[in-house]
Amino acid sequence: MPELPEVETVVRTLLPHVKGRRVVAVVHLRSDMLRPAGFGFIDAINGRLLAGVERRAKRIVFTLDSGERFYIHLGMTGRLTIEDPAAPVATHTHLIINLNHGRQLRLSDPRRFGEIVWMGTADHGKLGPEPLTLRPDVLLARLTQTKRAIKSALLDQNMIAGIGNIYADEALHRAGVHPERLGETLTAAEAGRLNRAIKGVLRRAIRAGGSSIRDYVNADGARGGFQASHRVYDREGKPCRNCRGEIVRITLGGRSTYFCPKCQG
């Protein structure tokens, strides 16, 4: 699933193609991916200028010249790309928007866990703070109020917005924190290390264009490169890049979780 670095990379590669461009036509829309159901999305965006695009958590947020907004969530297998109208259309393409510079914005999603959400002038509701600007004291206060495993708490988008399975594992390894530790047991020193680790791994992943494990590509169709720098994620049985111990995989909260028992004991 695309997480914060992947979504940020999509936004950065979309920006020069869509900012200031006008929607000429919505060529195709799969209505069951639209929220709220039955909303007149085509009429709402036809002829409007795309004033900007930004990231909030794992959401790609488009602002129209009217000040209204909609966002696209890529789900597990979504791709949002800029294409030539003459390019072949992928089988699982669910949204095609013609822009006034002769290019198309296309959303494809084989598993259809993504969504297109009309926000209007509403805010993002209960989403937690952004991890790249999170203060260590806020992280400590949030994690110590829960009896859940720290890994599970980090994946809660109302707790902190944008972190997913890959980067939770990577940050916890860098901070030397076991993923099954209960949030309420975290110390201030550990929260400081974890806060630095979260910011560090997310920034490095953004610089690398994100992690392409399976489906992810940026808006230009290019794969990310951070998967080559993973220390624990998807490395079960391989040597830890810090201590050379063996990376272990467990299931935590229904998610595969990778860690080093020696570094994170």
Q: Which amino acid, residue 233? A: Y
Matching residue, tokens 């590509």: 217
Both structure tokens of 22? 């006008």
Among 3, 8, 83, 190, which one carries the catalytic annotation? 3
Among 2, 5, 131, 136, which one carries the catalytic annotation? 2
Among 181, 223, 249, 255, which one carries the catalytic annotation? 255
What are the helix (H) ranges across the chain?
4-18, 41-45, 136-143, 150-155, 165-175, 188-207
Task: Tell me which long-range contacts 37-42 makes (C-beta under 8 A, separation of at least 24).
Answer: 39/118, 41/70, 41/116, 41/118
Verify whether residue 2 is a known catalytic residue.
yes
Verify whether residue 151 is a known catalytic residue.
no
Matching residue, tokens 């988008």: 157
> Cα–chain-centroid distance for residue 262?
29
What distance in Å separates the CA atoms of residue 89 and residue 68, rounded to the nearest whole number? Answer: 29
Phi, psi at 199, each rounded to 5°: -60, -45
Among 55, 58, 69, 79, which one carries the catalytic annotation? 58
Verify whether residue 58 is a known catalytic residue.
yes
Asked if 14 and 80 touch (Cβ cutoff 8 Å), the reply is: yes
Asked if 190 and 175 touch (Cβ cutoff 8 Å), the reply is: yes
> Would you please indicate which residues are annotated as catalytic (active-site) residues?
2-3, 58, 255
